[in-house]
Amino acid sequence: MGKIKVTIDYKPLEIEEGTTVLHAARQAGIGIPTLCYFQLHDMGIENNPGGCRICVVEIEGRRNLAPACVTVCTDGMVIKTNTIRVLNSRRTVLELILSNHPADCLICAKSGNCELQTLAHRLGVRQIAYQGEQSHFREDRSPSIIRDIDKCIMCRRCEMMCNEVQTVGALSAINRGFDSVVAPAFEQDLIKSPCTYCGQCVAVCPTGALTEIDHTPEILRALADPTKTVVVQTAPAVRVALGEEFGMPVGTIVTGKMAASLRRLGFDYVFDTDFAADLTIMEEGTELLGRISAFLAGDKDVKLPILTSCCPGWVNFLEYNFPNMKDVPSTAKSPQQMFGAIAKTYFADKINVKREDLIVVSVMPCLAKKYECQRDEFKVDNDPDVNYSISTRELAALIKQANISFHELPDEDFDNPLGESSGAAPIFGVTGGVIEAAMRTAYELFTGQKLEKVDFIELRGLEGVRKATIKMGDQDIHIGIANGLGNARKLLEMVNKGEADFHAIEIMACPAGCIGGGGQPLHHGDSSIIKKRAAAIYEEDRNKPIRKSHENSYIIKLYEEFLGKPCNEKAHHLLHTHYFDKSTVIEGTVDVENN
């Protein structure tokens, strides 16, 4: 593509043909404000309805102001982004939005992190000139997400995420004019929709219209209860993002400070989901090898490709959309649930605490985990294996409430026996990591030889769909990887049509995997944040003395003392699950009239 010349705010600029005014301005260091526009650069995610008109600019020779996000530059264009006319128009647009917006900032869950609030501050709005009627929708509380759509500004980012990126289709713009908001079909609650609770709508909502269910009050209560022993587990992706909430540089690894802060909060045992990730590899890897070996031995009934099952958002998606494949994924539970099952049996016995007096809390980058830990199959006599799951954001809120100066904390270690992990565990937090971790172990078990090069670079990257072939001895293993549910759909449709010959497929519901999860600090559309978190995850892996799950000494001990062998009956009972058909069937009933 050719180059063209434009002038923005008196600054001459050479840009690629086809660049929008918004991006041209960014190249010149001029940040035009946006609301509906949203992009995750390099990740194929863009919301571009040109609807809010907060981004208007003046273009010489044009009578009307033009929205920068959808206006493509032409050669010689002279653009002004800060004339009086532009500033007034921008403020008017914002005041109109604010006139139908509850001014709840003091008590809003998004306060301090809300793009609408930031914009009102930036544009210096000191009064709302228009007194509008306010809409009143009912609040919808699902197991993971709160929808408070009186705060919806109709940017439609969530709709784009849910429908185009995730292809779930739980949300749509409804009604018209004043009453228009984004909602599930028939304005029903999210729980009645095919929502997977991936939380990607929450991750992109600029306002407090979509937030997570807050479990911090329950946790504070449990911590204050002297009859309860409270243990906590932290997912891999949390440690590379939590620091952002305290203003630390993006990509800072805060594993040690996080463990210290949890101890200061009063948790009795500070454990690590990474331990359970190693355990997952033992179970899932064994299952994978079992299926591949059976397949190679000519067993026609064996179900291949094996699909990973550690992402509950993806499991929900499968149950709604691909019920015919519900016997295909690995039956291994997610690391969160494996941890819960082991904590409430093996560990509870060890410390001599009754199951009902042990509270298991998980800190997750994920909102689907809130739903997952409430599933009936993960309860024993109505007592959940994991009592509460909070997001990275909620943990940050807890730390702030408890007067802990995060920066000044020393680096501390996790407790044992459920705190030790290999380098194969942290990489669960990034797309491709689960299957890489599985290959490290499967390779050695399959070939009986030591794996010299533990880094499977060919499995890494952030592209939505990836394919790779790994050699295990003489055997080629074909691997598919998808992140984002729309990409998962593409891969599964290939498999359903018999167009692919994968042995194993890894699927993560969130773009880039859990590092981009719905419970993470908000990235506000800056994809460099996600890339830095990914780099930090691999650094965490490299820093570990042990890089393979089956070499984790506490895992070895767990099997020796308690479980026996991977995938045996006891392991199946505690660490494996099954999936349900949640699709909708439309059924014709007998005509009343014809009877």
**Interface residues toward ligand FES, by CB under 6 A:** 34-37, 50-55, 67, 69
Q: Catalytic residue at 284?
A: yes
| Residues with Cβ within 8 Å of residue 388, at least 6 apart in sequence | 215, 218, 219, 222, 359, 361, 362, 373
C-alpha span between 353 and 557 (Å, rounded): 21
Catalytic residue among 257, 369, 531, 532: 369
Q: Catalytic residue at 133?
A: no
How big is the chain, counted in residues?
595
583 lies in the binding site for other proteins (CB under 8 A): yes
State both tokens at 197.
Answer: 């609770």
Q: Where are the alpha helices (DSSP H) in 387-464?
A: 392-401, 433-447
Half-sphere exposure of 128 (CA within 13 A, CB side): 17
Distance in Å, CB of 525 to ligand FES, minimum: 11
Please give the single-letter amino acid code of residue 390. Answer: I
Q: Catalytic residue at 330?
A: yes
Catalytic residue among 69, 310, 373, 510: 310
Per the listing, tokens 């960014």 go with 26
C-alpha span between 324 and 585 (Å, rounded): 13
Task: Fill in the per-residue mask, 184 to 203: x = in contact with other proteins (CB under 8 A), - = not in contact.
Answer: xxxx-----xx---------
Q: Catalytic residue at 158?
A: no
Give contact residues for ligand SF4 (rule: CB under 6 A). 145, 149, 152-158, 161-162, 166, 168, 170-171, 182, 195-201, 204-207, 209-210, 311-314, 365-366, 368, 508-510, 513-514, 517
Distance in Å, CB of 391 to ligand SF4, minimum: 9
Q: Catalytic residue at 46?
A: no
Distance in Å, CB of 22 to ligand FES, minimum: 7
Most distant CA pair in the chain, distance: 79
Catalytic residue among 58, 115, 244, 372: 372
Query: Can you tell me which of 5, 24, 169, 524 binds other proteins, judged by CB under 8 A?
Result: 169
Distance in Å, CB of 392 to ligand FES, minimum: 27
Q: Catalytic residue at 245?
A: no
Q: Contact 517/362 with Cβ under 8 angstroms? A: no
Residue number, 13 or 195, with CB nearest to ligand SF4: 195
State both tokens at 202.
Answer: 């929450």
Q: Which does 69 bind (CB under 5 to 8 A by kind): ligand FES, ligand SF4, other proteins, none?
A: ligand FES
**Concatenated DSSP letters of 316-382:** HHHHHH-GGGTTSB--BPPHHHHHHHHIIIIIHHHHT--GGGEEEEEEES-SHHHHHTTSGGGEETT
Q: Which does 166 bind (CB under 5 to 8 A by kind): ligand SF4, other proteins, ligand FES, none?
A: ligand SF4
Catalytic residue among 16, 17, 377, 561: 377
Q: Catalytic residue at 114?
A: no
Distance in Å, CB of 201 to other proteins, minimum: 12
CA distances from 352 to 145, 205, 348, 355 (A): 36, 45, 6, 9
Distance in Å, CB of 489 to other proteins, minimum: 12
Distance in Å, CB of 93 to ligand FES, minimum: 9
Distance in Å, CB of 25 to ligand FES, minimum: 12
State both tokens at 136.
Answer: 């009143």
**Strand order from edge to edge, sheet including 358-364:** 269-272, 229-234, 358-364, 388-391
Q: Which does 510 bind (CB under 5 to 8 A by kind): other proteins, ligand SF4, ligand FES, none?
A: ligand SF4
Q: Catalytic residue at 532?
A: no
Catalytic residue among 193, 330, 421, 527: 330
Half-sphere exposure of 1 (CA within 13 A, CB side): 8
| Angle (CA) 286 577 307, round 5° | 55
User: Nearest Cα to 338, choosing from 224, 425, 445?
Assistant: 425
What are residue 406's phi and psi, to 5 degrees?
-55, -45
Interacting positions 319-348 with other proteins (CB under 8 A): 323
Stretch that binds other proteins, among 170-178, 284-292, 354-362, 415-423 (CB under 8 A): 170-178
Q: Which does 67 bind (CB under 5 to 8 A by kind): ligand SF4, other proteins, ligand FES, none?
A: ligand FES
528 lies in the binding site for other proteins (CB under 8 A): no
- What are the residues binding other proteins (CB under 8 A)? 163, 168-176, 183-187, 193-194, 323, 581-594
Residues with a catalytic annotation lie at 284, 287, 310, 330, 369, 372, 377, 514
